[in-house]
Amino acid sequence: MDPSTSTSLDAQRKLDALLNNASVAIFMMDAQYECVYMNPAAEKLSGYTLPEMQGRTLHDMLHHTRPDGSHFPLEECPIGLTLEHQHRARGEEVFVHKDGSFYPVAFSAAPMHGADGEVIGTILEARDIRQEKAVLSALEESSRAKDEFLAVLGHELRNPLSPITTSLHLMKMRGQRSRELEVIERQVHHLSRLVDDLLDVSRATRGLIELRKKRVDIAAVIARSVEVARPMLEAREQTLDVQLPAGPAWVDADAARLSQVLTNLLVNASKFSASHTRVTVRCRIQAGRVAVSVKDQGEGIPPDMLDKVFDPFVQSHQDKDRARGGLGLGLAIARNIVVLHGGSIRAESGGPGNGSEFTVDLAQADPRGGTESRAAEPAPGRSGPARRVLLVDDNVDAAETLKALLEAHGHTVAAAHDAAQALRIAPGFAADIALLDVGLPVMDGYELARRLKETVGAGAPQFVALTGYGLPGDHERSRQAGFSAHLVKPVDLDKLLHLLDRGPAPAP
């Protein structure tokens, strides 16, 4: 036998062995789109044998109908277009099995060339991805169920926090002061932050944290953060040293989110440091960057933990007695927020007993566009007209305490505890603003708003949502339903009072 013939036969046997044992389905079609070869994996995938397929177009046998039952023309088939346009194609399609069932495949198709280079057909690789799709669907369902659970959990935790927060505000207004009240206030604030952290980390993992950027002097952000963290620092008798540059340090940032980051760093610095120690906040401008560092004299971070402290549910000191509290989510959320700003955050420590320093690094913004400086915000207090407020909340305690608070600020309030009662009260009350709990039983707040518009007509109030649901989709749903504002429980009472002073912006 001619050595070249022997070599050719040997190569053919190897190719046959490769194709016959391949786990991926392989089809070959000629220039008329007719099937000329399929390996055993292709027969298993399609349900057809090679003799059944030969002389028939693969499209007519396996790809002729869409899952909705409509006809799939060959001229729209990406696999068929591979031959017409002479290019490689990859993607996912749905094939029809011999038994009539539909199944998804991942495919790769490419033109086949003859000895002289002309295109003589198409080779197609296809892989059944039903199991992958099922796993992906199960993961998506699990993620959806988790999101629903967290949303409901947040709602159920926030609802009882609302009347507690309002009651504390009322007691302070009436001049009641005691150590016990201060303890309750701190713990309510702590619980509110835990709920927010739990929901924020869920948003962060799905990329749902939205930033509302504007040009801001970072000194204003630091001032906000210090104000929030100051009670904890004072309770532990810790000294706070704030070092700012001589002039403004402008950044393009969501001031509220960036304040959340710095507040977390300050709270952590206090929490992991002993009493009578110093916490230093330092802002520097260098080479077009603005760096804010928070340094403490606390316990420090072991070297093997420096790369892990920004992971969710991780704390550098995880005491069994959980004395310091927290879920270990704050730094994970902080990193996500900083990265969304196009910046970076890093941790440094000399090891246990040597304190730690966290630095947030952001791009410096053009100083000519500054909008918010380090000037203090005006103190809260009613400056606008008294309002007529229709308040609807099925949590009686929440409704009655908020009613008392608003009345103490000079507003006239009618409270209802369900939609039916609200519809009876509304025509004779002539409310300017309706504060509606959107999670009402029987008829939710969205439907109630629609019914109130029908009932009151041109004199309908502006609607403000009060709810324990605070995901971006919840805000958007309120906007679509014609609400002028969406306030998440426990409501920031100063924000609510300010909103009543100026009146909510007209609904879209």
As annotated, the residues of the chain forming the CATH 3.30.450.20 domain(s) are 3-128
Q: Is the pLDDT of residue 195 over 80?
A: no
Identity (one letter) of the amino acid at 485? A
Phi, psi (deg, nearest 5) at residue 34: -85, 140
434 or 317, higher pLDDT: 434
Helix axes 330-340, 179-205, angle to 10 degrees: 50
Reported as a single tens digit per residue, the pLDDT across 54-72 is 989 888 899 888 888 888 8
Percent of the chain with pLDDT over 70: 88
Q: Is the pLDDT of residue 381 over 60?
A: no
**Helical H segments across 243-305, by residue range:** 255-271
CA angle (77 as vertex; 73, 83 as ends), nearest 5: 120
Q: What is the pLDDT of residue 506?
A: 62
Of the candidate ranges 35-44, 45-54, 389-398, 472-481, the one whose mean pLDDT is the lowest:
472-481
Q: What is the pLDDT of residue 371?
A: 55
Helix axes 445-456, 419-429, angle to 10 degrees: 30
Phi, psi (deg, nearest 5) at residue 433: -135, 140
How many whole angstroms separate alpha carbon 366 and alpha carbon 496?
A: 33
How many whole angstroms separate alpha carbon 429 and alpha carbon 431?
A: 6
Helix (H, G, I), strand (E, B) or coil at 40: helix
As annotated, the residues of the chain forming the CATH 3.30.565.10 domain(s) are 214-369
Reported as a single tens digit per residue, the pLDDT across 389-429 is 999 999 899 999 999 999 999 999 999 999 999 999 999 99
Which residues make beta-bridge pairs with 340? Answer: none
Of the candidate ranges 154-163, 231-240, 364-373, the one whose mean pLDDT is the lowest:
364-373
CA angle (382 as vertex; 179, 502 as ends), nearest 5: 130
- Out of 3.30.450.20, 2.60.60.20, 2.40.37.10, 1.10.268.10, which CATH number does the structure's domain 3-128 have? 3.30.450.20
Q: Is the pLDDT of residue 37 over 80?
A: yes
How many whole angstroms separate alpha carbon 350 and alpha carbon 300?
A: 7
Q: Which two tokens stand for residue 325?
A: 């509290």
302 or 188, higher pLDDT: 302
Q: What is the pLDDT of residue 294?
A: 97
Reference 302, options 354, 262, 379; nearest CA is 354
In this structure, which topology does domain 140-208+381-508 adopt according to CATH? Rossmann fold (3.40.50)
Helix (H) or strand (E) run with residue 220 in it: helix 218-235
Q: What is the pLDDT of residue 383?
A: 57
Helix (H, G, I), strand (E, B) or coil at 65: strand
Phi, psi (deg, nearest 5) at residue 70: -80, 155
Q: Which two tokens stand for residue 10?
A: 């040997």
Q: What is the pLDDT of residue 263?
A: 92
Mean pLDDT of the chain: 85
Q: Is the pLDDT of residue 178 over 50?
A: yes
Q: Is the pLDDT of residue 102 over 80?
A: yes
> Residue for token digits 């939609």?
419
Reported as a single tens digit per residue, the pLDDT across 322-380 is 445 556 778 888 998 999 999 999 999 988 889 999 999 999 998 665 455 544 444 44
As annotated, the residues of the chain forming the CATH 3.40.50.2300 domain(s) are 140-208+381-508
- Please give the DSSP secondary-structure letter assigned to residue 303: G
Taken in order 190, 192, 193, 198, is the CA torsion positive or negative?
positive
Helix (H, G, I), strand (E, B) or coil at 80: helix
Q: Which two tokens stand for residue 1?
A: 């036998």
Q: Is the pLDDT of residue 161 over 90?
A: no
Helix (H) or strand (E) run with residue 359 in it: strand 356-363
Could you tell me which CATH number the domain at 214-369 has?
A: 3.30.565.10
Q: Is the pLDDT of residue 73 over 80?
A: yes
Of the candidate ranges 117-131, 182-196, 242-256, the one whose mean pLDDT is the lowest:
182-196
Reported as a single tens digit per residue, the pLDDT across 248-302 is 999 999 998 899 899 999 999 999 999 999 999 999 999 999 999 999 999 899 9
Q: What is the pLDDT of residue 148?
A: 75
Residue 445 banded pLDDT, cuts 50, 70, 90: very high
How many whole angstroms separate alpha carbon 447 and alpha carbon 449?
A: 5
Percent of the chain with pLDDT over 90: 48
> Residue for token digits 């062995």?
17
Reference 76, options 86, 87, 66, 67; nearest CA is 66
- The upper half-sphere exposure of residue 89, i.e. CA atoms within 13 Å in the direction of its Cβ, equals 20
Pair 385, 433: CB distance under 8 Å: no
Q: What is the pLDDT of residue 159?
A: 81
Residue 15 banded pLDDT, cuts 50, 70, 90: low
Mean pLDDT, residues 164-191: 81
Q: Which two tokens stand for residue 373?
A: 């400086």
How many whole angstroms separate alpha carbon 488 and alpha carbon 475?
A: 9
Reference 157, options 194, 207, 113, 205; nearest CA is 194
Q: Is the pLDDT of residue 237 over 70?
A: yes
CA distances from 31 to 34, 61, 82, 126 (A): 7, 17, 11, 19
How many whole angstroms separate alpha carbon 339 and alpha carbon 204?
A: 11
Q: Does residue 51 have a cis peptide bond before it, meaning omega lies within 30 degrees of 0?
A: no
Q: Which two tokens stand for residue 77?
A: 């088939």
Q: Which two tokens stand for residue 124?
A: 């197609």
Q: What is the pLDDT of residue 429?
A: 93
Reference 417, options 448, 386, 387; nearest CA is 448
